[in-house]
Chain A
Amino acid sequence: MKSPGDGLPPASGGGDASGGGHSERKLGEAGAAKRLSTGRALLAVVAGGLGRAAGALLVLLALASLVFLALRLLPGDPAALVLGDQASEVDRAALRAKLGLDKPLFIQYLHFVWGLVRFDLGESLSRPGVPAYAEVMRALGPTAALAGVAVGLGTLFGTSAALASVGPWLGAGRRWVHRLTLFLAATPLLAFAPLLTFVFAVRLGWVPLPGDPESGAGGLLFASGLLSLPLAAQVARIGRAALLDQSRAKYLEVAAAKGASPARVWIVHALPVASTPISVVVAAQLGALLGGAVVLERLFERPGLGSLMLGAYASRDIPVLEASVVAAGLLFVVAQALAGMVQAMVDPRGRAT
């Protein structure tokens, strides 16, 4: 019989200690084993996260290299594309020297990777004197606001819809809530966002028109609201399934028998249990949310990372395009890693062994 102190965790990782002995010792051993297995689980999550981070870095490097190569392999002279055909040969040579395009490709690539690490990819071409990274940093704010508000609204709308579709408040109407969320989940953002914008901004005039630079909080709220709808539909779908799963549970009956109102039963007792799958869905949808943010920035002509990227693409502003694609890629892989970690924390089956 081992003492609790030096106890190795059982191979199964479970809490049950085998063998006889005094009940106190057994209890102590089980507690130690449980502590160890919790530590192990945490370790597995961290290790999985590290493995995922390595994969994420690989994706990021591949994306950055792809952008780098794409811009260098462009048929013709990039300097001519940037400056136009009328530019003198001297100007073009100066730009080529500034961008390092006159050096061998390999040296350029090393310089590019070193610039990535140092957060210095040179100055913007369309706004001379402004570093490309500063442009990206300036654009990150509005995009983060848009996406952040959308995540909040989506979780709120989705959870409310899930509660409304299982709770007793709406009667037969709850089936319609469920149908609406199913319809919304199957409809692309691109089909309904312009339509809703037309109805609310042009016909009803409740929200600022697209492209209004003074749109302020109302504009942000409306754009995030549109962006949050696909997320809300997914949250409602998964949340409803999780709540229905709980609906026959004994502890809800107990709560109801003690005189809790339906609202208290569903919100205080059932919802915390359902919040686990909901958080997994929200994390998993972050990547799609970033894609949607690009579309909505275009629709509402809002400043942000998507607009910056598309503008840099249109004007062939090479340093800004490189910096913004890498920044967007970074956001994307961080969102994915976050989703993976939430998933691993909640569901041990997905953990890397």
Chain B
Amino acid sequence: MKSQRSALVQLLPLGLVFCAVAAVVLFVEGDPGRLHLAQSWQPPGGERLLGSGDAGVDLSLLAAHATFRALVLALAVACFGFVVGTSLGASAGLAGGARERWALRVCDLVQSFPTFLLALAVLSAVRVPSRLHIGLVFCISAWAPFARLALAQTRSLREAQFVEAARALGASRFRVVFGHVVPNLLGPVAVQIGTAAAGVVIGETALGFVGLGPPDGVSLGGLLEQGTLGMLRAPHVLLVGALTVLCVSGSLQLASEGLRRHITRDAG
């Protein structure tokens, strides 16, 4: 009981981060991209909580909006991967035989694609890369780990005794699949959502940092890039950027670890 509670406590930091940035995004007026040239690189204090960055953007607004967008993107990509990957993997596992081998081979191929080069190739096909295109890049490869996990789970569930018992009792194929296999498959596969989301946040930050981010610059990578540009004049920008990335990725990883412990405990 105690360890289960502590497993769920690990979700708390992510919830706090998300609520805080969502509150800022929803209730604080202002555009994170608005420039005030007179206030460029101003240190924290006064009416701006975290100071200003390049060309006088409000850092607290920028950090909150960038975090919010990164989290939404990561969750969307992870959920896409979960839905697509689980259905592909489970159906391949149920079909078995050659289809199962092919599914594994395709997963291998997709997972061995270097994301950065993929992003470079896909983003050079569009004139101005938007957040949607970046999400698309991550979606291309996001489903593969889910499919692999779902396939492995299905393979072991297929032979499980309770599935055999259901079959022996005369349950239809539909009932066996959706009443017995799928419910037992979802938990272990859902654990991957947290890991995938953390990966997307880091990947999006890296892309934004090297200049492949959304054009408005409202991304964690853009924030970090401002920080390194103004390292000599205004170190607070760098500090805000690095700490934001640290908090977001750390809380996501903690949450996915908690989720894993919670679900494997339930399953075990």
Asked if residues B125 and A71 are in contact (CB atoms below 8 Å), the reply is: yes
In the complex, what distance in Å separates the CA atom of A67 from the CA atom of B117?
9
Query: Which of A76, A209, A329 is B117 in contact with, Cβ under 8 Å?
Result: A329
Query: In angstroms, how far is the closest chain A Cβ from the Cβ of B29?
Result: 30
Contacts of B117 in A (CB 8 A): 63, 325, 328-329, 332
Query: In angstroms, how far is the closest chain A Cβ from the Cβ of B97?
Result: 17
Query: In angstroms, how far is the closest chain B Cβ from the Cβ of A203?
Result: 8
In the complex, what distance in Å separates the CA atom of A328 from the CA atom of B115?
12
Contacts of B122 in A (CB 8 A): 66, 70
Query: In angstroms, how far is the closest chain A Cβ from the Cβ of B137?
Result: 11
Query: Which of A62, A187, A306, A310 is B249 in contact with, Cβ under 8 Å?
Result: A187
Asked if residues A63 and B250 are in contact (CB atoms below 8 Å), the reply is: no
Query: In angstroms, how far is the closest chain A Cβ from the Cβ of B141?
Result: 12
Indicate with 1 or 0, residue by residue over B236-250, a CB within 8 angstroms of chain A CB atoms: 001101110110011
**A63-B118, A192-B242 in contact; A336/B124 too (CB < 8 A)?**
no
B67, CB-defined interface residue at 8 Å: no
In the complex, what distance in Å separates the CA atom of A196 from the CA atom of B221?
17
B59, CB-defined interface residue at 8 Å: no
Contacts of A298 in B (CB 8 A): 209-211
The SS class assigned to the B binding surface is: helix
**A58-B109, A194-B224, A291-B116 in contact; A74/B210 too (CB < 8 A)?**
no
**A291-B116, A295-B209 in contact; A74/B245 too (CB < 8 A)?**
no
A190, CB-defined interface residue at 8 Å: yes
The SS class assigned to the A binding surface is: helix
In the complex, what distance in Å separates the CA atom of A182 from the CA atom of B224?
24
Chain B interface residue number, banded: 35 or more
B227, CB-defined interface residue at 8 Å: yes
Asked if residues B224 and A190 are in contact (CB atoms below 8 Å), the reply is: yes
A162, CB-defined interface residue at 8 Å: no
Closest residue of chain B to A337, judged by CB? B112
In the complex, what distance in Å separates the CA atom of A336 from the CA atom of B108?
12
Indicate with 1 or 0, residue by residue over A301-325, a CB within 8 angstroms of chain B CB atoms: 0000010011001101000010001
A55, CB-defined interface residue at 8 Å: yes
Query: Which of A188, A209, A295 is B245 in contact with, Cβ under 8 Å?
Result: A188
Query: Which of A76, A310, A336 is B112 in contact with, Cβ under 8 Å?
Result: A336
A119, CB-defined interface residue at 8 Å: no
Contacts of B210 in A (CB 8 A): 294-295, 298, 306, 310
A217, CB-defined interface residue at 8 Å: no
Query: In angstroms, how far is the closest chain B Cβ from the Cβ of A14?
Result: 28
Contacts of A210 in B (CB 8 A): 228, 231
Contacts of B245 in A (CB 8 A): 188, 190-191
Contacts of A76 in B (CB 8 A): 127
B202, CB-defined interface residue at 8 Å: yes
In the complex, what distance in Å separates the CA atom of A122 from the CA atom of B122?
22
Query: Which of A188, A287, A325 is B120 in contact with, Cβ under 8 Å?
Result: A325
A161, CB-defined interface residue at 8 Å: no
In the complex, what distance in Å separates the CA atom of A66 from the CA atom of B125?
9
**A59-B112, A333-B112 in contact; A191/B242 too (CB < 8 A)?**
yes
In the complex, what distance in Å separates the CA atom of A127 from the CA atom of B241?
36
In the complex, what distance in Å separates the CA atom of A63 from the CA atom of B241?
33
Query: Which of B108, B228, B249 is A299 in contact with, Cβ under 8 Å?
Result: B228
B102, CB-defined interface residue at 8 Å: no
Asked if residues B238 and A287 are in contact (CB atoms below 8 Å), the reply is: no
Contacts of A328 in B (CB 8 A): 114, 117
Q: Which residues of B contact A (CB under 8 A)?
A: 108-109, 112-118, 120-127, 202, 205-206, 209-212, 221, 224, 227-228, 231-232, 235, 238-239, 241-243, 245-246, 249-250, 253
Since A59-B112, A309-B120 are in contact, a sample of 7 more A-B pairs with Cβ atoms closer than 8 Å, ordered by chain A residue number, is: A63-B121, A66-B118, A69-B125, A74-B125, A190-B205, A310-B212, A325-B121
Q: List 18 contacting pairs A-B, 8 Å CB cutoff, sorted by A.
A: A55-B112, A62-B113, A63-B118, A70-B124, A75-B126, A75-B127, A188-B246, A188-B249, A190-B221, A190-B224, A191-B245, A197-B228, A210-B231, A287-B114, A290-B114, A295-B209, A298-B211, A313-B123
